[in-house]
Amino acid sequence: MAICKKLFSKHIVYVSITGGVFHNIGQLTAASIVMNTFLSWYMPYLIIGGILAGLFNGIVCQKLLKSSWFKNN
């Protein structure tokens, strides 16, 4: 996320989407190791979910950062 923040400093939505996707990749990798199975068939669903969750979180964060309430507090 720190690298993405440097690459996309003005685009918090892109940083959030990247974080959501890589979070799901990490979770799937950890689950595959713990369960000692290959769970790659979940990957397309998790990537879509990561994109949607990251998009939502990024838009909300962008709105909060631009709001006058956040700047005044």
Q: So where are the chain's domains?
A: 12-72
pLDDT of 59 reads 94
Residue given tokens 């790659």 in the structure block: 40
Q: Which of 25-29, 30-34, 49-53 is the most confident on average?
A: 49-53
Structure tokens at 1: 């996320």
CA–CA distance, 35 with 40 (Å, rounded to integer): 13
Q: Are 50 and 21 in contact (CB under 8 A)?
A: yes
Contact 51, 16 (CB under 8 A): no
The whole-number average pLDDT for the span 46-59 is 94
Q: What is the mean pLDDT of residues 8-22?
A: 87
Q: What integer pLDDT is reported at residue 17 of this predicted model?
A: 92
Place of tokens 């950890």: 30
Q: What pLDDT score does 70 carry?
A: 67
